[in-house]
Amino acid sequence: MVAARWWRGVFAPLVLASPFPTPPQHTQDQVSVLELSRAKAKAASEAATPQVLSFFDSVGFREMLKGCCTEVANLTAEELLQRYRAEAQVAELAHALPAPGESIGVFSDVTTTEVGELPWFPNEFEVALMHNRSMSEGAAPINDIAQKEIFGCKPFAGPKPTWTEASSRLIYIAHNMRRLDSGSEPFFGDLTVVFNSSRVKDSVVIAPYDTGLYTMMCLRPEMSGHHKMKKFLPHLNCSAWPVNLPVGTLDYLDHLILPNLAAPVNSSVTNRTILDTARELYTRSGMSKIDYQDVPALDLRSLGGYMESNIMANPRLPEVVKFGIGNFDTLFGTKDGQEVRKISQRFKWPLPPWLQSGMVPTIDWLDALMTVA
Ligand SMILES: *[C@@H]1O[C@H](CO)[C@@H](O)[C@H](O)[C@H]1NC(C)=O
Ligand SMILES: *[C@@H]1O[C@H](CO)[C@@H](O)[C@H](O)[C@H]1NC(C)=O
Ligand SMILES: *[C@@H]1O[C@H](CO)[C@@H](O)[C@H](O)[C@H]1NC(C)=O
Ligand SMILES: *[C@@H]1O[C@H](CO)[C@@H](O)[C@H](O)[C@H]1NC(C)=O
Ligand SMILES: *[C@@H]1O[C@H](CO)[C@@H](O)[C@H](O)[C@H]1NC(C)=O
Ligand SMILES: *[C@@H]1O[C@H](CO)[C@@H](O)[C@H](O)[C@H]1NC(C)=O
Residues 148-205 have pLDDT tens digits of 999 999 999 999 999 999 999 999 999 999 988 778 877 777 788 999 999 999 999 9
Quote the pLDDT of residue 292.
82
Residue 271 beta carbon below 6 angstroms from any ligand 3 atom: no
- Mutation to probe ligand 5, out of 271, 273, 276, 301 (largest number of atoms < 8 A from CB): 271
Quote the pLDDT of residue 298.
78
Which of 6-10, 102-106, 261-265, 331-335 has the lowest average pLDDT?
6-10
Residue 271 beta carbon below 6 angstroms from any ligand 5 atom: yes
Residues 74-100 have pLDDT tens digits of 999 999 999 999 999 999 999 988 888
Q: Indicate whether 309 pLDDT > 70.
A: yes
> Which stretches of the chain are DSSP H helices?
2-8, 12-16, 28-56, 59-68, 77-90, 112-115, 124-130, 140-149, 163-166, 197-200, 211-214, 254-262, 274-284, 300-303, 328-331, 335-347, 363-372
Quote the pLDDT of residue 293.
82
CA 239–ligand 3 middle distance (angstroms):
9
Q: Which of 270 and 345 is assigned the larger pLDDT?
A: 270
CA 320–ligand 6 middle distance (angstroms):
8
Quote the pLDDT of residue 342.
80
Q: Which residues form ligand 4's pocket by a CB distance below 6 Å?
A: 237, 239-240, 262, 266-268
Percentage above 70 pLDDT, the chain: 85
The span from the CA of 125 to the CA of 117, in Å, is 18
Quote the pLDDT of residue 229.
61
Q: Whose CA is nearest to atom 4 of ligand 4?
A: 240
* Domain residue extents for the chain: 24-372
What number of other Cβ atoms are within 10 A of residue 66's Cβ? 12
Q: Whose CA is nearest to atom 5 of ligand 5?
A: 271
Ligand 6 atom closest to Cα of residue 198: 5
Residue 268 beta carbon below 6 angstroms from any ligand 5 atom: no
Quote the pLDDT of residue 286.
92
CA 74–ligand 1 middle distance (angstroms):
6
Q: Indicate whether 34 pLDDT > 90.
A: yes
Ligand of minimum distance to the alpha carbon of 129: 2
